[in-house]
Each structure stands twice: as structure tokens, then as C-alpha cells.
Structure 1
Amino acid sequence: MSEVKISAEPRTEFGKGGARRTRRAGKVPAVLYGHGEAPRHIALPAREFAAAIRHGGKNQIFNIEISDGSTALALPKAIQRDPIKDTFEHVDLLVVRRGEKVTVEIPVQLIGEAARDTLVMTESNTLAVLADATKLPEHLEASIDGLPAGSQVKAADVKLPAGVELAADPDLVIAIVSAAQDQSIVSETAEEAPAEPEPAAAEA
């Protein structure tokens, strides 16, 4: 995953009031922390940050250039969003170093088609892995191609890119393949079900 350069400003106002003023100014309140350093309160440009997250997801690496002349390489660890406005309320950013390995949740995509007359149920959309902070895969792939009913895809079955290690339980179930429900049985059941009595006519 490529790095995204983004500007930032030190933030001197704290609390709910300060955060609201920061958001009204078109910025996202954020805290930068890690590697034993004191947390730094910064403000990120909301539009640029939102565009980067839409493109790279929550594991997007940011090369942050702060207006005081300092820089930091950071990975979002917690993102708070307004569910109604779909805007970013606050971001926690973890400082990372090139070559450093971090544990992150990576989206898993199912590829292929299971055997005929089966249904595939996704049990986990992400998988925890240990990888270089600057070389995080955008997604992982798990094959369900040709799998018969009764099959399971587990974390250990997911093929990992070079340099990426599994951090989740190898027995974590990613997907389950089950037999498709017989539609004829559903239809027969519906036909056999007793009809609901019609409501009595109201007296005049």
C-alpha cells in the first residue's frame, strides 16, 4: 500500500468545544502517539483525509508533514465517525517506522464459486496479520472454488503474501459452505400452513 502525504497543524484547543471548532474549520482532530513519545494533538485536512481513507482503507499509511517542521509516518488505529453525517469526528494515529512490523486487520475477499446448490456464509470479513507497516496488503484472498457443502475456510487456509505472517488463530473460521435450502420444501411448508382467519366484519 502506497503512502499518502498529508499536511497537519498542531492543535492547542482540547475538549469537545475545541474539537467542534476544529471540525467547523474543515479539519479532523487527531492524536499522534507511539514509540514512547508524548502524544501530539494535531488537526488534519478533512477532505484530503477522507479521500485517502476511501482509497486505501483504514490501514492507509500517512506521511504527515506538520506545520512546525516535524514529520511522522503513521497508521490509523481508531477512527470515530458521525454515523448520520458520515464525517470523521476524531482519529488516533500510531507512529510507525520503516521496516517495523505491526499487527493489523486486513479485509478478506472470497474468490471462486463453491459447488452447485450450496450457500456460502461469511463468518469473518477481516484477518489479523503481522506485516511491515509500510507494506500492508490492501486485502487477502480466500478461495472457495469448488468447495462442497460442509466445507469450511479457516484462517490457516488463506494464502498470505511474502513477508506477511498470520496473527489470528489458525482455526478462525472465515467462511462456511452449506447446502442450499430445498425451495420445494419451503413451498410445500407454505402451502400446508393454515390460513389466517379473516377478521370479523365490524357491526354497523
Structure 2
Amino acid sequence: MSQEIIVKAEPRSTSGSTAARRLRRAGAVPAVLSTLGGESTLLQLNAHDFERTVSQHVSAQLLVTLDVGGKSCMALLREIQRDGITGRITHADFSQIDTARKMRVQIPLILVGEPEGVRTQNGVLEQHLRQIDVACLPSDVVESFTVDVTNLKLGDDITVADLQLGEKFAIHTRPETVVATVAEVKEEVVAAAAVTADAAAAPAQPELSVKKGKAEEDAAAAAAPAAKAKGK
């Protein structure tokens, strides 16, 4: 584990949606801690401090030291829920961790380097897998894994089986899962875009000519009866 992340919490005695809304209005985030004994402990967090802590890390699942009223325990931040409009955190779920036992976590994969297929072959890098499921001891949890894609040529890919994470990590994601690939830019898409651009840039003169001709015909038709009457 790279550094200790401390999250301060306070016990709460109220539950339910009404109580949760009241907490949020007061600047708190309702949370739940699942203990090793299978019990659920109701907590509340300072919304500003917790948001700042989460925003400083790549992974959504964080191993933290949870300080509840002065008593600490190791816990995994399993899930956070956010408001669909404001993006603010509305709820957090923690699970207490046994530091002597391996645990399953989702760790982000960060691609590094510019692929040869992008640099010299006009390809495009596509990332298909953004986090990997591994088991490890709590002390070995890392913020993310980096994947070097520098040597990927056009049509090449990297699968989970190609990753070298070390003996500390047991990978549970299927080995054939594609992590990243360098794909060819499809010519049909480029051609279609060019046709659309040409059509948008083309002058609308023919349509104006038709409208002008129609106007002249209408004027001539209106003038014909007057000319006939004058002739009589």
C-alpha cells in the first residue's frame, strides 16, 4: 500500500431516506460499515473532506483507515453513490478488512506510452479494459497498474494474459480479455465524412434559380389577363 488514507467518521443512530436527506442538507454523507462479524454499522462522514479524499485517487475502491470516533480499523471503500445531476456523493459503503487474509479488489489499468501503430501507421489506440480483478493482501493493494503500449503496432493487442503484475497478485479476470488494441481508422467513415462536408459546402444556386423561375412564371401569368383586356 503506497500511503495510508485516513477517513474520519462518526456513528449515526438514524436510518431511512428522510434521515439521509437531512444529513446531506447538513453537509454529511451517510455511510455503512460491514464488519468482520457480519454486522452493519451506520456512519456519517463530512461531505467536503470525504469528497476531497476520493478526488485525489484514481481508484474508486480505496483501502482506508476508518477512524470512527477515535477507534480505527482497516476498511475497503467498496462503493460510492453520486447524485445524477450534481455529481455529489450521496452514500458510501465500507467493508472491514482482515489484514492477514487476501481480498478481492478492482484495480485501474493506466495505459502509458504512444504505440508505434499510432505514431507511424495512422492507427488509433482503443482501451477495452479499464480495471482488473485481483486478489492480494491488504498491504499489497496499489492505486493502479500501468500498461506500456509503446511497442503495439497496427492490429496488435494486449490481453490480460500479457500482464506481468507480480506474484503478490492473483488475477481473476479472464486471461483472454483484451486490455488495449491499435485499430485501423476505417476509410468508409472518413469517406462519408468527406461527402457530408462537400454537400454542406456546395452552393445552393440551383434551388435559387428554380425559385426565381417560378416567381417569373407567376408574374407573367398575373400580367396576361391585364394585357388581354388592354388589347380589347
For the aligned pair, the TM-score class normalised by the smaller chain equals: 0.7 to 0.9
For the 8 Å contact 1:59–1:76, the answer to whether it is kept is: yes
For the 8 Å contact 1:149–1:179, the answer to whether it is kept is: yes
Give the corresponding residue for 1:155: 160
For the 8 Å contact 1:142–1:157, the answer to whether it is kept is: no
Q: Which amino acid aligns with 2:65?
A: N
Equivalent of residue 149 in structure 2, options 144, 166, 190: 144
Shift, 1:75, TM fit:
0.8
1:16 aligns with 2:21: no
Equivalent of residue 171 in structure 2, options 166, 172, 178: 166
Structure 2: runs of 5 or more not aligned: 219-232
Structure 1: runs of 5 or more not aligned: none
Shift, 1:70, TM fit:
3.6
- Counterpart of 2:48 in 1: which secondary structure? helix
For the 8 Å contact 1:59–1:136, the answer to whether it is kept is: no
CA RMSD of aligned residues (A): 3.0
Q: Which amino acid aligns with 1:97?
A: D
Give the corresponding residue for 1:119: 124
Alignment partners' CA distance in 1, 2:49 and 2:99: 23
Question: In the comparison of the two structures, how many residue pairs are matched?
Answer: 202
Shift, 1:136, TM fit:
1.3
Which protein is richer in strand relative to its size?
A: 1
For the 8 Å contact 1:107–1:127, the answer to whether it is kept is: yes
- Counterpart of 1:8 in 2: which secondary structure? strand
Q: Deviations over 1:16-46 (max 9, x none)?
A: 1110111122211011004233111111111
Q: Which has the larger radius of gyration?
A: 2
1:84 aligns with 2:85: yes
Alignment partners' CA distance in 2, 1:132 and 1:110: 24
Equivalent of residue 66 in structure 1, options 50, 65, 68: 68
- Counterpart of 1:49 in 2: which secondary structure? helix
Q: How has the CA–CA distance of structure 1 residues 180 and 11 changed in structure 2, closer, same or farther, with 3 Å as cutoff?
A: same
1:51 aligns with 2:52: yes
For the 8 Å contact 1:140–1:158, the answer to whether it is kept is: no
- Counterpart of 2:56 in 1: which secondary structure? helix
The percentage of counterpart residues that share the same residue type is 26
Q: Deviations over 1:169-195 (max 9, x none)?
A: 111111121223459x6289628x877
1:97 aligns with 2:98: yes
Which protein is richer in helix relative to its size?
A: 2
For the 8 Å contact 2:61–2:79, the answer to whether it is kept is: no
Q: Which amino acid aligns with 1:48?
A: D
Q: TM-score, with normalisation over the residues of structure 2?
A: 0.75
